[in-house]
Structure 1
Amino acid sequence: MAEHSTADAGRLHVVLVQAASSLDPSANAAALRDLVDRAAAEARERNPLVGEVLVVLPEVFQRDFGKPDTDLAAFAEPLDGEFVGALTAAAVEHGVSVVAGMFRAVEGGRPLNTLVLRRPDGTGVEYDKIHLYDSFGYKESDRLAAGEWKPVTVTVGGLRLGLMTCYDLRFPELARALVDDGADAIIVPAAWVAGDRKVDHWRTLTKARAIENTAYVVAVGQPAQRYSGHSLVVSPLGDVLVEADAGKAEEPTLLHAVLQTTDVTSARSVNPSLANRRR
């Protein structure tokens, strides 16, 4: 487990962007730049001394899943394509880190459901969704390839962030692997399909991942009516710090929260369940 001292304490302002993606990748790339502009401005207006900012957009913001029989390969893009270009440009222009989801083209194979994170200097990481949504009557694996077991963490604002996507939230072993790699916070972009019990599952699982790992969870979903909305941030002790309602596709919702490594250290002192594990 990674430990923090006062000297290396980190602080990160996160902006959750609960917004709907359309079926037009170019329109979504343009929307991303507008939303990052708005998010960065709001963050600095709320806290001029905020320091580092992370803007989190939902899963597959590059292009919505569309109908179940849609060939997503036709809309997948490479990492040097329009969407990642827009995301990187927005991060550099506004001096913030940005993460959002896309369908990533793979030569000779089905696309991947990929998260792309870029920092203000244009560097970053990618995470390929490991657990595809083959559940509740849907089969994501019919159209996409699963990522290899490769937990991805990255440092932003002095915090170590672990990345997962939507259905991954139902698999506690991935969250634990991220925390074992030093994650202070787990970032979960999603397109959590609406339906019976789904909001309850979303909120319960988000809180569980935070409590059992004594880590922040930042979970950002696409809005109603197709999806569940309810983007939220949960503290390392399980408190909901901020939460949206289901939202509307035509009205993006922006939420703000500040994450601090001192809160993670404090939670792990009060509740040392990670240190008490027996394996």
Structure 2
Amino acid sequence: MKLIRYGEPGREEPGIILDDGRRLDTGGQFNDYDEGFFALGGLEALQAWVEDGCPDAEEIPPDARLGPPVDRPSKIVCVGKNYLEHAKEFGEGIPTEPVLFMKASTCWSGPFDDVINPQGATKLDYEVELAVVIGKTATNVAEEHSLDHVAGYSVFCDYSERAWQKELGGQWTKGKSHDTFGPMGPWLVPASAVKDPQGLRLWCKVNNELRQNGWTGDMMFGVRHLISYISRFMTLLPGDVIATGTPSGVGMGMKPPRYLAPGDCVELGIEGIGEMRQRIVAAS
């Protein structure tokens, strides 16, 4: 099964996609896929309900909008320069430990929603990333137990305004947090269905041109290490998201740079996880 949320932005209902492709509403059983759901064993209860035949479930309309597969998290923790070739194209040296920054949770967006090119933006960029959704509270977690704290995996695009990120001074957050800069989806794949989070191909196309093509195994700091490392500095709550970094091929790294503009179409995905697509639109 895969977890989805559907409906209008901010009013999504929880659902699932079964192995046979049926899309069923789970709102009669669970309020939402949020901190409480994961903290109170919701995944296990959902699996038991599925194994019981999904009693009283209604099908989701085929044209329903898909939202992000988990409710807006308490925090989105991102890892910068976690692939060697991307660190080189980014500049500013090769990190010797994970580079952490935050995206405001108000950037949260659906997998097929439009991405707004903000007013005054000149350097909008894309980054395909493996997203890790935390399933239970993690504080000072030992690396060998890290994956026990994972609820599942999804596809994430870390959109950035590079001028705001690198040229205005201060921290990266201001270039990472505009509304719509954090689409995730199209669904959450439970951790039990992902044999090895370091064995996944991830890719990104812009206007059908392949820009990024990498493997999660190329991370300098893998998922196990990242969860343990981050949990030293902050408590990770159920439903929190870790965006684990991006391979090379971003617009900033091209010579000359090739940034996004209104009308562009960004497609991205991770094999075995899912695919997303966003259209870039001008701010109204």
Provide the TM-score with structure 1 as the length reference: 0.28
Higher strand share: 2
The structure, 1 or 2, with the larger RCO (C-alpha pairs under 8 Å, 6+ apart) is 2
Higher helix share: 1
